[in-house]
Amino acid sequence: MRTKWLFNLQLAFTLLVCAFLIVPVILSIMAGLTVNYLVGIESGLTLRWVMEVWNGYRNTIFLSIGISLACLVVTLLIGIPTAYVLARRQSALSRAIEELLVMPVAVPGLATALALIVTYGSLSGFRTSWGFILVGHVLFTLPFMVRSVLAVLMAIDLNTLEEGAASLGASWWRRFRDIVLPNCRAGILAGSLMVVTLSMGEFNMTWLLHTPFTKTLPVGLADAYASLRLEIGSAYTLVFFLMIMPLLLALQAFAQPRLKKFVAEDNAQ
């Protein structure tokens, strides 16, 4: 009886926390779908505000998608080899480099943006291009790619696998392509989803790095709310929600099979 009462109390607390977090999002989205948010759903539903967001801010959506995909490509090209080297060269220096890679995450995004502006702000062509924002996003998301891949590589006996392949005459590139990449595929996928999701929603750094011609989706969202048009801002929130949720669900779906695999291995042992 006491156990059931305790379970009900914990369930009620969990539902209360979920409601506290989710209800404001739902109300914000509904404001973007109603004719008059002051009246509420009784005023009727409409897609007018969503269409206004699409007509006025679709460039920010396409730019965010492009920057996120470009950020993914760069972090893959840099992050996977970096994780491989760190996994092969376990030393005090490699651990120090691993910690330094986390600095852009620990340092506030505004500070990183100011550092980039001070360093590269004089390059006018670069400063006003979307590539300037891409550099900031790569600095912010690269640690997540490296950590994801490194965690998988550290969980396997990489040296033994490579030595076995080398003894059979495999070159370095073939060992990297046929042994390293397949074994760290799970980390690459997890890191890729995190990079795209974080790049899509990054605001603090982008707020200082953007120009009127390089507004990303979160910056456009802030502008929509700053214009005091709550319907537009709420509809923009809905668009952002529809773009980011599939990535979050994919990340969750990917993590679930790995969790079941680890549980099965523990039970077998």
Q: Report the chain's mean pLDDT, rounded to a whole number.
A: 81
Inside any domain, residue 268: no
The confidence score (pLDDT) of residue 169 equals 79
Tokens of 169: 């005459």
Inside any domain, residue 50: no
Inside any domain, residue 48: no
Residue pointed to by tokens 């990183």: 112
pTM score of the predicted model: 0.78
Rounded to whole angstroms, the Cα distance separating 194 from 84 reads 19
Task: Reply yes or no on whether the pLDDT at 149 is more than 50.
Answer: yes
Q: How confident is the model at residue 266 (pLDDT cuts 50, 70, 90)?
A: very low
Inside any domain, residue 116: yes
**pLDDT, tens digit (0-9, with 9 covering 90-100), for 193-235:** 889 888 988 888 888 888 888 888 888 878 777 776 778 878 8
Number of domains in the chain: 1
Q: Which residue has the higher pLDDT, 263 or 60?
A: 60
Inside any domain, residue 209: yes
Rounded to whole angstroms, the Cα distance separating 245 from 60 reads 18
Work out the average pLDDT over 55-64. Answer: 85
Inside any domain, residue 7: no
Task: Reply yes or no on whether the pLDDT at 265 is more than 70.
Answer: no
Work out the average pLDDT over 152-156. Answer: 83
- Domain containing residue 138: CATH number: 1.10.3720.10
The domain containing residue 104 runs over which residues? 60-261
Inside any domain, residue 115: yes
The confidence score (pLDDT) of residue 73 equals 94
Inside any domain, residue 231: yes
Rounded to whole angstroms, the Cα distance separating 222 from 237 reads 10
